[in-house]
Amino acid sequence: MARSRKGNKAGSHAGDASDDGSCSSPVQSHRSMAQSSNRAKPAVESKEDQRQAEFEKKKANFFTRTLWTLIMVFGFVAALAAGHIYVIVIITVVQIISFKEVIAIANVPSRARQLRQTKNLNWYWLATTMYFLYGESVIYYFKHIVLVDKVLLPLATHHRFISFVLYVFGFVFFVSTLQAGHYKFQFTQFAWTHMALYLIVVQAHFIMNNVFEGMIWFLLPATLVINNDIWAYICGITFGRTQLIKISPKKTVEGFIGAWLMTNVFGVLTAKLMMRSGFFICPVTDLGANVFTGLDCVPNPVFVPKVYSLPQFVFLPPGFNFSFTTEPMMFHTLALATFASLIAPFGGFFASGLKRTFKIKDFGDSIPGHGGMTDRMDCQFIMGFFAYMYYHSFIAIHKASLGSVMETAITGLTVEAQIELVRGMAKHLNNQGVWGAKVRQGIPTVVSNGHFSLKNSSLTTWLAYRLSSVYRIP
């Protein structure tokens, strides 16, 4: 029994010598701790290396993102200063790249290799849609050029039918290339392509029309969206507490409302600045115009200051009248800013939901450091569409234009009636002292020298040129 107790006591001391139950002396314990420390050191260094590598990656991404931001900003400003046609080119490039990115999401590489005609057909749909939409814009805004050209006149007259025939060719080709075992993939591509055409190409078409109506109707909505995005971030990280929408957890109600208020202020100041230049407020009449040459026009009434008084239902003290003078454009700017702040962000939320559906981070990598083109333009498409609809509903002045009068005369009157119209206009202008007496001598006199100037020409000259060139009036 004594031996047993001694053994138990020894065992007890041995247990006190080591926490893990091993028998070791203090020296051995120190050595084991040192060895354990040496084994843990590489793990610590590994974590530090990972943190350093992650920091370097973020820093490189920050510089790349900043560099390409500056490139895009300066490139856009340069195109803006160069004139409307360069802005149209940028819009075209943006819509093509965005279409490519969205189409690629639903693509299945293995099946795409087996059905190469599917990819080609997607681009055919894009080309056909762009031909139709761009043709509509050119015919609408440049009738005075298109309708007097012998080559362009037939294309303009039958433009919609030609576009429909092109679409039908694509439809027939699609049906004829359906293959057993690939029906679902092919019809998915068909539906996906048409959705992309509507959400991207069609809406980009309206943005292009905004440029033709006046640069301010393109630039102001675009800058409102960009400014709202910046203020949403600033107000969100400063005051954000309440989540706005589940699809985008980082968006907050405070950032949403704060950005709306700041965007209204920014919009009013920006509109005030743009209204000082005819280049921004005048519709396109000369594609060669730029920010230095400018444009000249009679301003739309929304740009002319107007006196406003408080309505009668606002109860004021007797004899107290309150009025102020401002441009109606200021109120329209508030409407645009409100849409850019409260509705346009849902275009971004829609894009976020789409990316989550397909489990992708970005739509592409076309812009280094920023992701895809669609990631940057998701809110711009719906904003540009709204600006077009708003302009034509509340701002545009619907009156007879040179192009519309010419279209009616050329397409709705006989040759004899057109000649009488020209002579009648010439006589009227001569009686008003606007044009010389040589107009009364007949149409050939107008174009007898073989030259014709498109700039600052009257309706009579246009019709004279039209009749002499198309109908070969001697």
Print pLDDT tens along the chain (474 aa): 444 444 444 444 444 444 444 444 444 444 454 454 455 455 555 777 787 778 777 778 888 888 888 898 899 999 999 999 999 999 999 999 999 999 988 776 656 666 778 888 999 999 999 999 999 998 888 877 777 777 888 888 899 999 999 999 999 999 999 988 888 888 999 999 999 999 999 999 999 999 999 999 999 999 999 999 999 999 999 998 999 998 888 899 999 999 999 999 999 999 999 999 999 999 988 888 888 888 989 999 999 999 988 776 667 677 677 788 999 999 999 999 999 999 999 999 999 999 888 888 888 888 887 788 898 898 999 999 999 999 999 999 876 666 667 777 777 788 888 788 887 877 777 777 765 544 444 444 444 444 444 344 445 555 555 555 544 444
User: Residue 369 domain-assigned?
Assistant: yes
Residues 391 and 425 in one domain: no
Residues 432 and 331 in one domain: no
Count of C-beta atoms within a 10 Å radius of residue 2:
6
Residues 290 and 423 in one domain: no
User: Residue 196 domain-assigned?
Assistant: yes
Answer whether 216's CB lies under 8 Å from 302's CB: no
Residues 346 and 436 in one domain: no
Model pTM? 0.74
Residues 390 and 408 in one domain: no
User: Residue 452 domain-assigned?
Assistant: yes
Residues 391 and 409 in one domain: no
Residues 275 and 365 in one domain: yes
> Per the structure, how many domains does the chain have?
2
pLDDT of residue 449: 43
Residues 463 and 386 in one domain: no
User: Which structural domain, as residue segments, surrounds residue 447?
Assistant: 402-470
pLDDT of residue 14: 42
**395, 419, 445 - which closes a domain:** 395
Positive or negative torsion for Cα 19, 24, 26, 28: negative
User: Residue 30 domain-assigned?
Assistant: no
**368, 395, 422 - which closes a domain:** 395
**352, 371, 395 - which closes a domain:** 395
Residues 83 and 188 in one domain: yes
User: Residue 265 domain-assigned?
Assistant: yes
Tokens linked to 231: 């203020």
pLDDT of residue 112: 62
pLDDT of residue 214: 94
pLDDT of residue 400: 61
User: Residue 10 domain-assigned?
Assistant: no
pLDDT of residue 110: 56
User: Residue 58 domain-assigned?
Assistant: no
pLDDT of residue 171: 96
Residues 246 and 219 in one domain: yes
User: Residue 147 domain-assigned?
Assistant: no
Residues 255 and 226 in one domain: yes
Residues 339 and 455 in one domain: no
